[in-house]
Amino acid sequence: MNKSDVMELRKRFKKDTSISRMAGCYVDSNKQKLLKLNEVFLNLEADEFYKFLEIAKKTLGGTPGNNILELDYERDQEAPGGRQQFLMGLRESNLTNEDLLDRLYDLVIENYSYVSNYLILVFHDTYDIMKRTSDNNKLDESEEVYDYLLVSICPVDLSKAGLGYREDEHRIGARVRDWVVGVPEIGFLFPAFNDHSADIHKVDYFIKDPKDSHAEFAEGVLGCGSKRTNTEKREAFKSIVKKVFSDSEDKAEDVFADIQESFSVRVNAGEDEESFPEPILLDDAVMDEILVENGIEGDEARNIKEVIKTEFEDEIPTLDVLLDEKLVRANAKEKEKKELVKEVCALKEEIKKNEEEKAEIAEVTTKSDLAEFEVILSVKPEKTDSIRTEMIDGKKCIVIPMSENEHVKINGVRTEL
């Protein structure tokens, strides 16, 4: 499922939606079913209609690979009694078979860990997919009918405590706390919607928090092998580097940032080209190049490669998946800041050196002047015009008029006149 597929389905969740039916089950923190519902979707009250529609839309939120994972069914799950066959039956029932719905609720309750209450919602929709031309324009001719289920699992928590206006008592008092349905934490779309078409051999699995893919849910409810999100893969790779450089946390952070820069250079190498380059696998050859260019060798290099092989033995990740663009940008800014500090320090040092050289020159000049002249005057420019010579006691004297608030230094020594 790519971004285009996601947007195509999300656009359907609006006023003229074709969602035919919605079923659900409200579960408390003790895993007890408190309430079940089963409604013709278009018969809902307007306020409820749009709020449930928003939940459906948000179940396909986020980005493929991070919030939406495409999971494959094993062959045994497509046989009678398997999870895929069960979901096929639930879909074909148009959510009217309560036994099948109860089985789904039970599977969720057994395999979803949540400390508070939550709501399980199941939507049934039929999408008449129109044929498209080579330039992606729609034709008025049906290409396929995509009949699917969308399941959303939403936390239900108490609203925050606070003060409010108690209208019935005409006073400000403690607000009544309600149980409020939140945005979906987890969900799935069956069959998967892949390249503008249904794929009954896969399921699109949604998780709100990409740091936790809830492997137990994927395996226990959907019967699929779990996959890690891109965020989980990045965190796993970072843990590898930290483990190898465990003696120094600062060095581990620096090495990880340098490796991320190497990833960025390779991933973005063809970004100006019209055609997108093929994703680059983190195989031995690529890893060797990156280790060499970052000066990582010996046991450290061998350990990193060995742990990567063990960690990602099922699926070699691509560099774009492991790349943390935010970290690369932050690291680039930090480097710019450090370079700027170095430049400022160098400039200060140069200014200091120049001032010292000027002082030396002035000292040499003063000594040279003293050798040639008996008297050297230094006055403020505004006093220059008032300097005169007079004969005093038969001797020629330099006279500089002084005000009471003016001060004098003679040969660098402050002198009171």
What pLDDT does 136 receive? Answer: 59
More confident residue, 314 or 59: 59
User: What pLDDT is attached to residue 227?
Assistant: 87
Domain map of the chain by residue range? 3-227, 232-323, 337-415
Residue recorded with tokens 């190498």: 269
The residues, any chain, with a CB within 8 Å of residue 145's CB and separated by 6 or more, are: 126, 127, 128, 129
Q: Is 135's pLDDT higher than 80?
A: no
Reported as a single tens digit per residue, the pLDDT across 82-96 is: 999 999 999 999 999
Report d(CA 224, CA 221) in Å as an integer.
8
Residue with tokens 């049906």: 142
pLDDT at 95: 95
pTM over 0.95: no
Distances in Å between the Cα of 61 and the Cα atoms of 112, 146, 209 are 20, 20, 11
Mean pLDDT lowest among 245-249, 278-282, 408-412: 408-412
The percentage of residues in the chain with a pLDDT greater than 90, rounded to a whole number, is: 44
Beta bridge partners of 388: 399
pLDDT higher than threshold 90 for residue 105: yes
Pairing assessment for the beta strands 68-72 and 163-166 based on DSSP bridges: unpaired
Planar angle of CA 295, 297, 302, nearest 5 degrees: 140
What is the rounded distance in angstroms from the CA atom of residue 111 to the CA atom of residue 415? Answer: 93
> Residues 343-387: pLDDT tens digits?
899 899 889 888 887 777 766 666 666 667 777 778 888 888 888
What residue has token string 């779990």? 226
